[in-house]
Chain A
């Protein structure tokens, strides 16, 4: 469905005005190729861009993408009105766990909203979506009233559209990165449109692929496990899932209350996966040693154990009776709603008075005001409790979903930002043991989103009478499991020069709109990309990690996307366990080099040709073009560099090679052959390179120093040693202890 200018767009505000700074416009056409409405063209005689103002909708995509800031757009952003869906406010709240947010009620609403999508040529929303859903693609299908196609488009990248539509914080992801949002207006309601697709048409089940002869173990049945299992079963792998809880779905079931994510929706993926042949073994807690056991049983293992340990603050009084964490609260509260009289029993178990009446209801203090805290506080309200959330962040920089925050307040949750708990006291006063009775709150000040708040010590603390304190600052991965996963957690922060395609798309141009809480949506998305790419690389031989276990506390959609990415990488690598009868062989070689005068590049090509002659699929690339994606698609690495330095001083790998080695992700047991080309003496060049790749878990199988580029025979010998070395080590038993 093409964007159509409507009466709403044209109402009152005039037309956008486009100023092309002809002095500076270089005619690079970055704006021309990215204008959603084809309002930009080239003046061939002057070779500068020209704009058709009658077509312009004021989205400012040209402003954001012009490398020289040669376009200025003024006037209205013709975004039109964003459609909204109904939100139910149960009255009374007690025990009502019915879903609060509803989707579009009719096709007309959905079509009107779909029409607002500009179908941007370089859609920033797709970069903002952690799974990179083809958002313009599925919205266009809605426009055609073709929900089967919409599902088909979504399923290329997501297996949880019904869940993501409900739990994603779209304002900081796809919707925050929508062109309209980047221009300061209300974005397309992508979440509601995604939900519309899944409300009206069941999410298609996975179609098991042809038997690939591989057995894969997946540890954890949360969203990361779902993403991995889904892609694996579709690729023909035999998948066994090991889950600690009695039922699969992890945090989706116990961590997100039914009023946000109904149980029927949360259970859908595992029902479909089990029907597709995925074996789920519940009640099995896999620890560090267990991972090694699974590696011996399966050809590969994907760890998706998530972050299930609630973060606890060590303030005075944190160990008093009545101070619990969010995990305990939410897990036990879920059972309270599912049984007759369960709420009263739960209140009694928690030591709370269930007969106090609405005015004197027990008071729950929830520490935090993020998504977990909102879940806890709103659940508390449904248990008949009064709830106050405190967060030391300023509300302007809150991490909560704006709609969730509004809903919580609507339901009577008191949310107080710029406060922190300095201590809690028991019934007998400060430091006493026994039941928690009082919390002392101090004020904080936060002036910028990227700065932590400071506590205002000089201002008086504020007492708050409480009956229960719930620490809901989020979760962290189990440190015991994390200890067996080298290289984790991966920090979701892009380093160095921003990705060029991302910078070119305009998504990194900030600030985003108030709708996105002025979050730097592009920078956040680029950080998430680090995690997504890391998921494709094994942390150890045959061991992949995804989700919160890989990157620390994150989101459902990220975990799912990482699971899929890891599964794709795993199926491309096709590892096999020792003694399984299959032999792992390096089928895809990547030869990467840093060359100055051309010698090193020549050797790299010669090595590549020999590897190709031996039946490998080979890529030969300069290191500048080798990123995580290229590394993930390699079973054998050959790395070569020229040698810099002054004969005896500062001799080592080329500067660009050093930079590249310094940014290497985890290589998880990949065999590596190293070579260098030198003029006088290579000194410790190869040793430096070996240390760098081994630090990331790679296995150096051979090295070679070639004077003046060496001979073709030397390159051939290096290639043959690399293949032989890779095979030898692959046949040997796994050495987890050495790797970790």
Chain B
């Protein structure tokens, strides 16, 4: 007699509930095609290693990631307010602006949302919301509201707006300069308070998904990363699952705080690497997977307009952050401030104007492509599949048009160069001042001063910093050329009159972006 290991249907009489439940069939049409390119290879599952699996399954896993950052950022808050006013010697300001921002970018490019998994802001608020540091509680603290549907419809655009606002505030008060270290502390307090407020009003990680200033940047640039996130091992198991513990929460884990289902995840865009789905899946059908770099940029079949507009605006912002270091900008800003009676840099008009111009240039190019290359008879991607007479076709993130058929894929292809630009923008502070963190730490105990050797030590000279910055941009441009070429072949060629023309034109956009950034870095001459 064989051992009946998995049989659930052996009751003496059939369970009356099972008899009465007659679910509609699960739809599988188009499944293979939809996920063929995005599903990671089984061999790239790191949780196949039992030691890693045990670590990730442990409920303290994320807690242990968050705790060190929690310690650092409460120290930042405390030292920033109570410590020295010299920014370079103040641990709060030094660790935040010389090192942290740079590290976050490295983590994005290599991993994805690694920072989100260890973020002390959301992490702290989540502890309060769940009323536990690591346990699986049943009742959340707070109102548990759902994010208003009209706002949620905008996807990743609200976070872009909050990033623009935060950046303007940071520039206005010269927080990241760094200026007065207390301003850094108050900024962190503001972020923590906002996070806490949102976690107490709304359910799950609504803040991280829909509001956090960094979430669009980390999500988009992070899609270059080599960690695919938590994905299904066998999609059939997920499709036949009738409980979706990974979404609703199970005995051992919460429902996904990021509103991501491992069964349909096609990129790492919205995987916060919190491991709750891995813990909660009763079938052990979720794994943590690696992927080839740039896979989440190139492979997903579903392109989202909110992500595309987000990338375009982020491009405008980083161009602004380069342009504002030039004399031309200083003249314009000064002129505007004088005429508008605005106290000082940055004038909101030129701030918004430059960002809008950067965004508009990309959108304009896409519009020109749609007019110049677009085939009038071509059905914009997605329209046929969605069909008519169905709700959901007019969703902002998915709505299709001739313009979007070019704009959306084109901007996805630019992710590497935009990411490289942000990274390069942080390098001067790192190479000039990262070593200040050591005397800043010592200064907490009263042991060092601005005369310390490490305080004035530059890892690289200004000239070499420019070289490295341009090198980063070249690397980013090369990566973007590759992603754009792949995306253009699959998504732009079918809707274009000229396959060669659209490929070359798309590459031209990438090169133009790379060249613009490089030239601006040369002009900036390592200004931080």
Q: How far is the CB of A624 from chain B (nearest CB, A)?
A: 6
Known A-B contacts: A33-B23, A33-B26, A127-B17. Give 8 more (CB < 8 A).
A22-B392, A35-B24, A38-B24, A46-B386, A48-B392, A126-B17, A596-B54, A620-B5
Kindly identify which residue among B8, B20, B266, B301 contacts A126, using a CB–CB cutoff of 8 Å: B20
* A22–B398 touching, CB < 8 Å: yes
Evaluate contact between B17 and A501: CB separation under 8 angstroms: yes
Q: When chains A and B are docked, how far (Å) is the Cα of A611 from the Cα of B4? A: 11
A38 to B390, CA, bound (A): 13
Q: How distant is the Cα of A108 from the Cα of B152 in the complex, in angstroms?
A: 47
The answer to whether A19 touches B243, judged by C-beta atoms less than 8 angstroms apart, is no
Contacts of B301 in A (CB 8 A): 45
Q: Which residue of A lies closest to B27 (CB)?
A: A42
Most buried by B among A24, A122, A618, A633: A24
Question: B391, A41: Cβ atoms under 8 Å?
Answer: no
Q: Are B391 and A598 in contact, CB atoms less than 8 angstroms apart? A: no
* Tally of chain A residues near chain B (CB < 8 A): 85
Contact partners of B25 in chain A: CB under 8 A: 33
Contact status A121-B4, CB under 8 Å: no
**In the complex, B446 has a CB within 8 A of chain A:** no
A-B contact pairs, 15 of them (CB 8 A): A23-B395, A23-B397, A25-B392, A30-B247, A44-B33, A47-B264, A48-B392, A50-B387, A52-B391, A68-B259, A70-B259, A121-B21, A597-B54, A618-B1, A619-B10
A568 on the interface (CB 8 Å rule)?
A: yes
CB-nearest residue of chain A to B16: A132
Q: Are B21's CB and A21's CB within 8 A?
A: no
Query: A610–B446 Cα gap in the complex (Å)?
Result: 71
Quick check: B20 and A123 within 8 Å, CB to CB?
yes
Known: A27-B261, A633-B11. A17 touches B5 (CB 8 A): no
Q: How many angstroms from the CA of A409 to the CA of B25 in the assembled complex?
A: 49
Contacts of A52 in B (CB 8 A): 389-391
- Residues of B1-15 contacting chain A, CB below 8 A: 1-5, 7-8, 10-13, 15
CB neighbours of A26 from chain B (8 A): 247, 259-261, 263-265
Residue of B13, B256, B263 with most partner-chain A CB within 10 A = B13
A621 contacts across to B, CB distance below 8 A: 5
Chain B residues positioned under 8 Å from A20 (CB to CB): 391-392, 395
Interface membership of chain A positions 38-70, coded 1 if the CB is closer than 8 angstroms to chain B and 0 otherwise: 100111111111111110000000000001111
Query: Least Cβ distance of B278 to chain A in Å?
Result: 14
A-B interface, 4 closest residue pairs, ranked by CB to CB distance from nearest: A44-B30, A500-B243, A67-B247, A26-B261
Contacts of A412 in B (CB 8 A): none
- Of residues 610 to 624 in A, which have CB atoms within 8 Å of B's CB atoms? 611-613, 615-621, 624
Contact A497 B251 (CB under 8 A): yes
Name B64-89 residues within 8 Å CB distance of A. Answer: none
With a cutoff of 8 Å between Cβ atoms, the chain A residues found around residue B245 in the complex are 500
Number of interface residues of B (CB under 8 A): 78
Residue B50 at the A interface, CB < 8 A?
Answer: yes
Chain B residues positioned under 8 Å from A134 (CB to CB): 16, 19-20
Q: Does chain A have a CB within 8 A of B29?
A: yes
The answer to whether B23 and A122 touch across the interface, beta carbons within 8 angstroms, is: yes
In the complex, what distance in Å separates the CA atom of A625 from the CA atom of B245?
13
Contact present for A619 and B5 (CB under 8 Å) = yes
Indicate if the CB atoms of B11 and A34 lie closer than 8 Å. no
Q: Does A18 contact B (CB under 8 A)?
A: yes
Q: Which of B11, B20, B155, B382 contacts A23 (CB 8 A)?
A: B155
A371 interfacial contact with B, CB 8 Å: no
The CA-CA distance from A461 to B271 in the complex, in Å, is: 63
Question: What 1/0 mask marks residues of chain B from 487 to 523 whose CB sits below 8 Å from any chain A CB?
Answer: 0000000000000000000000000000000000000
User: At the interface, yes or no: B149 with Cβ under 8 Å from chain A?
Assistant: yes
**CA distance in complex: A46, B26 (Å):** 16
A572 and B12 alpha carbons, distance in the complex (Å): 7
0/1 interface trace, chain A 255-288, chain B, CB 8 Å (1 if under): 0000000000000000000000000000000000
- Tell me, rounded to whole Å, the shortest Cβ–Cβ distance linking A285 to chain B: 33
Shortest distance between the CB of B255 and any CB in chain A (Å)? 6
* B386 contacts A45, C-beta separation under 8 Å: yes
